[in-house]
């Protein structure tokens, strides 16, 4: 199973940059999207998406043009879950999950705390609640892939300038500690499972030519429950895809 996760920063904007041509060439079995910022009725190219063989499942935020997640898949899911049972996050469309034979795949968009103290507090609350949610979910679905934009750099290797960003949301000690504990609770950072090299990022600021200079952050992850470790085949970051301030990340499982 070939899984891609991609924060598209607005699916309509991505579509205007030939995103469907890229999707056809990349040809994932499942693609998890974050920050779709749209509802399906606002998309004119759904027929073209379906012609590529994808069923599409959307969990937009209640607020128009904000947040939201989706899963497009060539493999028919046994079940799609649109709610986490946590209203504050469900209203923002932060979690959607598709269950297949042998694996469940979640697309999730963690909150950003960069706009101020109130949203940082919201982010910390989400982290605590998500850990509890994932712990329970893994009991029911032990083969779990949690893909998405976590809005956290785990370690100094995952950010271009760890010293100057020591007090930046996304690289705060509490956030990094949460990520460490989340992984220790039974997950594998699939990219780091295969690649220990620095300068591998998934998000770049639009300011000061950061992407061309590769001054980035690695905040997007395909996390895999430990029960799938022997199924891991490949993981990669795909920085050549430029439809967003993020780039897609790839996971291949041998199921």
The neighbouring-strand residues paired with 145 are 105, 224
C-alpha 14, offset from chain centre: 16
Please name which of 186, 91, 198 lies closest in space to residue 139, comparing C-alpha atoms: 186
101 flagged as catalytic: no
Structure tokens at 71: 């899963």
Measured on CA atoms in the order 162, 164, 170, 173, is the torsion positive or negative? Answer: positive
Residue 125, burial from CB neighbour count under 10 angstroms (0-12, 13-18, 19+):
middle
Q: Are 150 and 7 within 8 A, CB to CB? A: no
Name beta bridge partners: 188. 224
Of 21, 41, 45, 149, the catalytic one is 149
> Can you give the C-alpha Rg of the chain in angstroms?
17
DSSP string, 109-136: EPPP-TT-HHHHHHHHHHHHHHHHHHHH
Q: Cα angle at 77 between 72 and 80, to 5 degrees?
A: 80
Instruction: Enumerate the active-site residues.
Output: 149
């Amino acid at each position: 199973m070939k899984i891609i996760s991609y924060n598209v920063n607005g699916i309509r904007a991505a579509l205007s940059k030939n995103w469907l041509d890229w999707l056809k060439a990349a040809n994932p079995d499942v693609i998890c999207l974050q920050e779709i910022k749209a509802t399906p009725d606002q998309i004119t190219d759904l027929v073209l998406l379906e012609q590529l063989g994808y069923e599409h499942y959307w969990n937009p935020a209640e607020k128009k043009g904000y947040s939201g997640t989706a899963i497009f898949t060539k493999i028919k899911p046994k079940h799609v879950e649109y709610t986490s049972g946590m209203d504050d996050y469900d209203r923002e469309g932060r979690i959607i999950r598709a269950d297949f034979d042998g694996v469940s795949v979640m697309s999730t968009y963690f909150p950003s705390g960069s706009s101020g103290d109130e949203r940082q507090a919201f982010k910390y609350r989400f982290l605590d609640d998500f850990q509890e949610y994932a712990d329970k979910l893994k009991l029911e679905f032990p083969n779990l892939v949690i893909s998405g934009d976590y809005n956290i750099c785990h370690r100094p290797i995952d950010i271009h300038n760890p010293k100057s960003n020591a007090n930046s949301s996304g690289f705060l000690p509490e956030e990094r500690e949460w990520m460490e504990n989340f992984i220790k609770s039974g997950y594998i950072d699939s990219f780091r499972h295969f690649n220990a090299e620095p300068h591998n990022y998934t998000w770049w600021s639009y300011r000061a030519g950061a992407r061309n200079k590769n001054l980035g952050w690695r905040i997007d992850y395909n996390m895999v429950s430990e029960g799938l470790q022997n199924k891991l085949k490949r993981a990669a970051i795909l920085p050549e895809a430029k439809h967003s301030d993020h780039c897609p990340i790839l996971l291949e499982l041998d199921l």
